[in-house]
Chain A
């Protein structure tokens, strides 16, 4: 039987699956992450430059808000990434609980500070947008409050992890916290529909045409991709640090 036809069978599928699962091994993932991180950093820098150029020099001035609307090019990508990273983090935590893969927990730990960073950027840039447009830095409306809660969830995750000395126990506790916190994600997303909020509704949706100029949308999407590449690059570098730290912990226990 030829090699091509055998790869279509169940054995081939299993072999393909195990090939991917091999990268769940820290020893194989570590060098791969080291090779990939610089490419993701480079992609992030290039996409950010393109996004900033489109956002500041190509996109037109908004008819209603004037120049201040350009905060959208950092606020919206940061807000999207804050929710997306939390979702990915929770998925890694679920994998860690179900499959007991240690790398999944480490990826969740590596993503948490970056998720908190994007949440903080979304909140700060939102406040700086709120003052000139709403006349206030902050209101306790559903969207803003649930986003603030997301920041506390990220900070809680980081604090809980550093508060428990034994890594396995810390991973389990953090995984439970992250999974419980996913309840907040639909609350953030649908808050502008469920409640009467000062925050505007969604301008970009997967099911409807965008309510903004194409160049504005292009700048926003480029910045979102830049943030995405940055998050991957930083997570890869951080997970390598975690792997080295855990490696030392293993050596220390062996010598004790």
Chain B
């Protein structure tokens, strides 16, 4: 609860929220790109 209070009060908790949010955005972007590449190559014959 202290962390949530810090985040909404604009304290240092917002840096924690930003760090985790940026990590999740980057991971999400990688997964999205991988999904697109996987779909693009799906029709190709396996080795």
Contacts and interface: CB of A to CB of B under 8 A. Distances in A.
Q: Is this pair of chains taken from one and the same complex? A: yes
A132 B15 contact: yes
B13 A230 contact: no
Chain B interface size, as a band, is: 20 to 34
Given A247-B45, A247-B47, A67 B16 contact: yes
Given A125-B22, A244-B45, A247-B47, A114 B16 contact: no
Contacts of A251: 45
A237 to B, nearest CB: 6
B26 A121 contact: yes
Interface in A132-147: 132
A22 to B, nearest CB: 14
Given A67-B3, A70-B16, A237 B34 contact: yes
Contacts of A74: 19-20, 23
Given A67-B2, A128-B19, A132-B15, A26 B34 contact: no
Given A67-B2, A67-B6, A71-B16, A244 B30 contact: no
Contacts of A124: 19, 22-23, 26
A121 B12 contact: no
Interface in B11-36: 11-13, 15-16, 18-20, 22-23, 26-27, 30-31, 33-34
Interface of B: 2-3, 6, 11-13, 15-16, 18-20, 22-23, 26-27, 30-31, 33-34, 37-38, 41-42, 44-47
> 9 shortest A-B CB distances, which residue pairs?
A68-B12, A125-B19, A244-B41, A244-B44, A26-B47, A128-B19, A132-B12, A71-B19, A248-B44
